[in-house]
Amino acid sequence: MNEFIALGLSRPVVNAIEKLGFERPTTIQTQAIPKLLQNDTDFIGLAQTGTGKTAAFGLPLVEMVNPSLPETQALILAPTRELCLQVSRELDLFGQFQQGLRILPVYGGADIGKQIRELKKGIHIIAATPGRLRDLMRRKAVDISRIQYVVLDEADEMLNMGFKEEIDEILQETPESKLTWLFSATMPEEVRRISNQYMVKPFELSVGQPNTGNDDIDHQYVSVRPKDRYEALRRFLDYDKEVYGLVFCRTRRDAGELAEQLSRDGYRTDALHGDLSQAQRDRVMERFRSRHLRVLIATDVAARGIDIDNITHVFHYNIPEDLNFYTHRSGRTGRAGRKGISLVLAHPKDLVLIRRLEKRLKTQFSPVEIPSGQEIFEKRLMGFFQRIKKTEGHQAIQPLLPQLMQEVEGLSREELIHRLASMTMSRGMKAHLNGKELNAKSKASRSSTNGIELFINIGTFDVEGKSGFLSLVCNQSGITGSNIGKIDMSSKHTFFHVEEAAAEKVIQAFNGSQFQGRELRVNAGKPKNTKKSNKKKTFKKGKKKFQRA
Ligand code: AMP
């Protein structure tokens, strides 16, 4: 039996699914669809984009909404215009054999008059951004008083984007009898609050663990100095011509500048950021979707709702300021069962943040090396020769072959190949030959004892030599001397190696605590301004204090 039928879906809906080419349900679909079809419970699905969550709620919705009732029965709230459009497109496809079913996306930045006219025609399912829906409600253009289902899609994103008030206002207008289905990649406090306030004993489902990454994503990082970051990114793009990637920057300005620089260097790229008009955004997205662009540079906010299934790489040009963004960024790859790479171009001092991410996502980040110029050069050359093997000789050249052979007579096979290879060397390839080593020998990188090097602003002025330092660190953080490797002390600060697993404990134990009236700082590697910051004495109330060992 078709597995979708086994979940309780009807033939017309399953026919639509088959037409779409879905062969079997994804995990979240298998678990959510039968539950939602029971039509008697609120529901929380912890799932990232890419898991098939739209169909997990969309299939039951098109199944249960009644097209012969002339009223809006389901409302889907989503954070962005792109997501509204995507959801509505998918639901249109799922419901293509449900006679008379009408689905409409409404979102900000588009002609509200036109949306009002469409709504008047009678819509069964609305997919809306919260801001626009509230406007429409205030204009009495939409009636949600008989809604049976509310779906909060990417609830964490909606709250991140500041839609708290709108969501509250909207939910208060819906009838008590409705069912609420909430989907979210992460479960921060605010999302919990919504569920506590508006949902009754929700059935909770988690695909993978909450706040964790997706198994199809390979998380990697490189340690690179900021001044080499641009060149490092180029190396990755040049090394693998199949990269179809998204690069995240922290600010619009960084995104714009990076896109400009890459364009100047010959890459098919553009930036997607908040300064663009909706029409410009659409154009950029369309060019990326159709592969006219190979690399899209985006800010966190602008990239919300990007739904492209075959992105091979997500690059983090900087680690995100808010580590929660990492999940959303990396979730743009590894979608629909395909594998993807999420690569952080980390400042040597960011290693501690990487460790924090590992804990949070319960996954490992693998350190990778930036390809050397020589490696890229060799790969390109080999690629050229592999293509030679695959190329069929053109028939127009066939009759000229004797003449051509004559031209190169006297050259050995080796000489011929050597010259041919030399001729294929583009300017870019030659430039790679002179490329310098970019991998930062990071203070914070894994040491030979598989530890990381920490800095602390305690030195020989404060404790009696290495043994005094050791006992201080061990007593305060609860780790043992065997967790600590090389110790390098100066009068006011110390660098010391700690096993990775123990490093976080040390940081937690010391950071922000006070020592002889001085605020302590521990971080990976050497801070830029050690001298000055050591002199600075901070006395803060409420900080952790500890006794000298
Ligand atoms: P979503 O998590 O809803 O953003 O879905 C990610 C992508 O997976 C979308 O392009 C869907 O069309 C696709 N998809 C969803 N369910 C299935 C399925 N059962 N089989 C194959 N592809 C699917």
- Please name the residue that has the structure tokens 């300017």: 427
> How many Å lie between the centroid of ligand 1 and the Cα of residue 310?
12
Calculate mean pLDDT across residues 400-410: 95
Distance from Cα 96 to the centre of ligand 1, integer Å: 17
| Secondary structure element (H or E) that encloses residue 383, with its range | helix 373-390
- Separation of 12 CA from ligand 1 center, angstroms? 19
Within-domain flag for 331: yes
User: Which atom number of ligand 1 is nearest to the Cα of residue 90?
Assistant: 12
**pLDDT beyond 50 at 547:** no
Check residue 202 and give its pLDDT.
Answer: 95
Torsion (CA) 74, 80, 81, 85 in degrees, nearest 10:
-50
Q: Residue 219 in contact with residue 361, Cβ under 8 Å?
A: yes
91-105, 130-144, 361-375: the lowest-pLDDT one? 361-375
Whether residue 533 has pLDDT greater than 60: no
Q: Which residue has the tokens 């061990």?
A: 474
Instruction: Tell me, using a 6 A CB cutoff, whether residue 347 lines ligand 1.
Output: no
- Assess whether 119 and 234 both reside in one domain: no
Provide the CATH number for the domain around residue 57: 3.40.50.300
DSSP one-letter code for 104: E
CA distance 39 to 214: 29
Q: Averaging pLDDT over each range in 201-215, 337-351, 466-480, which range is the top one?
A: 337-351
Work out the average pLDDT over 501-508. 85
Q: Among 22, 83, 153, 306, which residue has the most ligand 1 atoms within 8 Å of its CB, making it the best to mutate?
A: 22
The reply to whether 201 and 278 lie within a common domain is no
Average pLDDT over residues 295-316: 88
333 close to ligand 1 (CB < 6 Angstrom): no
Q: Is residue 9 located within the same domain as residue 127?
A: yes
pLDDT above 70: percentage of residues in the chain:
92
CB of 51 closer than 6 angstroms to any ligand 1 atom: yes
- Cβ 329 vs Cβ 248: under 8 Å: yes
Q: Where are the alpha helices (DSSP H) in 65-176?
A: 81-94, 112-120, 130-138, 155-160, 164-173
Residue with the smallest CA separation from ligand 1 atom 20 is 22
> What is the average pLDDT across 192-202?
93
Rounded mean pLDDT, 101-110 = 95
Residue 153 Cα to ligand 1 middle (Å): 15
Give domain status of residue 383, yes or no: no
Which ligand 1 atom is the nearest neighbour of the CA of 307?
4
State if residue 185 touches ligand 1 by the CB under 6 angstroms criterion. Answer: no
Pairing of strands 518-519, 340-346: unpaired
Ligand 1 lined by 488 (C-beta under 6 Å): no
Instruction: Please tell me whether residues 87 and 29 are part of one structural domain.
Output: yes
Beta carbons within 8 Å of 362's beta carbon, 6+ residues apart: 209, 212
Is residue 241 domain-shared with residue 305, that is, in the same domain?
yes
Q: What is the CATH number of the domain that holds 504?
A: 3.30.70.330
Question: Distance, CA 79 to ligand 1 centroid (Å)?
Answer: 19
Of 373, 394, 426, the last residue of a domain is: 373
Q: What mean pLDDT, rounded, does the chain reach?
A: 87
pLDDT at 232 over 90: yes
pLDDT over 90, % of the chain: 55
Same domain, 233 and 343: yes
pLDDT band per the 50, 70, 90 thresholds, residue 508: confident
Specify if 395 maps to a domain. no
**What is residue 489's predicted lDDT score, i.e. its pLDDT?**
84
Across residues 492-512, what is the average pLDDT? 86
Pair 168, 195 in one domain: yes
The token pair that represents 407 in the structure block? 């031209």
Which range (308-317, 382-391, 446-455) has the least confidence?
446-455
DSSP string, 49-75: TTSSHHHHHHHHHHHHS-TTS-S--EE
- CB 26 less than 6 A from any atom of ligand 1: yes
Integer angstrom CA distances of residue 260 from 34, 284, 316, 351: 49, 14, 17, 29
The response to whether residue 25 sits with its C-beta less than 6 Å from ligand 1 reads: yes
Atom of ligand 1 nearest to the CA of 336: 8
According to the model, what pLDDT value does residue 475 have? 84
The two structure tokens encoding residue 284? 């950029």
Asked whether residue 478 falls in the same domain as residue 523, the answer is yes
Give, as one character, the DSSP assignment of residue 230: H
148 CA distance to ligand 1 middle (Å): 25
What is the arithmetic mean of pLDDT over 103-130? 96
Residue 93 lies in a domain: yes
> For 327-340, what is the mean pLDDT?
84
Domain boundary among 157, 177, 206: 206
State both tokens at 150: 């509310």
Verify whether ligand 1 is closer than 6 Å to residue 48 (CB atom).
no
Asked if residue 50 has its Cβ within 6 Å of ligand 1, the reply is yes
Is 142 found in the same domain as 49? Answer: yes
pLDDT at 450 (0 to 100): 65
Residue whose CA is at the smallest distance from ligand 1 atom 5: 52
Give alpha helix (H) positions in 107-221: 112-120, 130-138, 155-160, 164-173, 189-198
Distance from the alpha carbon of residue 76 to the mean position of ligand 1, in angstroms:
18
DSSP 385-416: HHHHHHPPPPTTTGGGHHHHHHHTTT--HHHH
Residue 238: pLDDT over 80: yes
309 lines ligand 1 (CB under 6 A): yes
**What confidence score (pLDDT) does residue 214 get?**
67
Same domain, 356 and 459: no
Q: Could you read off the pLDDT of 248-261 as tens digits, one per residue?
A: 999 999 999 999 99
pLDDT at residue 288 tops 80: yes
CB 33 within 8 A of CB 10: no
Flag the least confident range among 138-147, 178-187, 346-355.
346-355
How far apart (Å, rounded) are the C-alpha atoms in residues 30 and 28? 5
Residue 438, in any domain of the structure:
no
Count structural domains, the chain: 3
- Give the pLDDT band of residue 418 (cuts 50, 70, 90): very high
d(CA 392, CA 407): 22
Element of type H or E holding 249: strand 245-249
Predicted local confidence at residue 300, as pLDDT: 87
Which conformational region is residue 442 in: left (phi greater than 0), alpha (psi within -120 to 50 degrees), or beta? Answer: beta
Asked if residue 345 lies in contact with residue 374, where contact means CB atoms within 8 angstroms, the answer is no
CB 224 within 8 A of CB 64: no
Q: Are 233 and 380 in contact (CB under 8 A)?
A: no
Please determine, for residue 542, whether its predicted confidence score (pLDDT) is greater than 70. Answer: no
| pLDDT of 443 strictly over 70 | no
* Closest atom, ligand 1, to C-alpha of 23: 20
94 lines ligand 1 (CB under 6 A): no
Domain that holds residue 466: 447-545
Q: What is the pLDDT of residue 401?
A: 95
Please say if the pLDDT value at position 271 is more than 50: yes
The pick from 24, 26, 33 for probing ligand 1's pocket by mutation, whose C-beta has the most ligand atoms within 8 angstroms, reads 26
Does residue 54 have its Cβ closer than 6 Å to ligand 1?
A: yes
Atom number, ligand 1, closest to the C-alpha of residue 50:
2
52 lines ligand 1 (CB under 6 A): yes
pLDDT tens, residue by residue, 11-40: 999 999 999 988 889 889 999 999 999 999
CA–CA distance from 236 to each of 227, 290, 293, 312, 431 (Å)? 16, 22, 16, 12, 15
Q: Are residues 147 and 201 in the same domain?
A: yes
Q: How confident is the model at residue 189 (pLDDT cuts 50, 70, 90)?
A: confident
For residue 441, being part of any structural domain is answered with no
Position 341 scores a pLDDT of 94
Last residue of a domain, one of 353, 373, 393: 373
Dihedral pair phi/psi, residue 334, rounded to 5°: 65, 35
Our CA angle for 53, 194, 33, nearest 5°, is 25
212 assigned to some structural domain: no
Tell me the CA–centroid distance for residue 26 and ligand 1, in Å: 8
Q: How confident is the model at residue 441 (pLDDT cuts 50, 70, 90)?
A: low
**What percent helix, strand, coil does the chain show, rounded to 5?**
45, 15, 40
* Residues in a beta bridge with 203: 43
Q: Could you tell me if residue 420 is inside a domain?
A: no
Q: How far is the CA of 5 from the centre of ligand 1 (A)?
A: 17
Residues 234 and 150 in one domain: no
pTM: 0.55
Q: Are 494 and 425 in contact (CB under 8 A)?
A: no
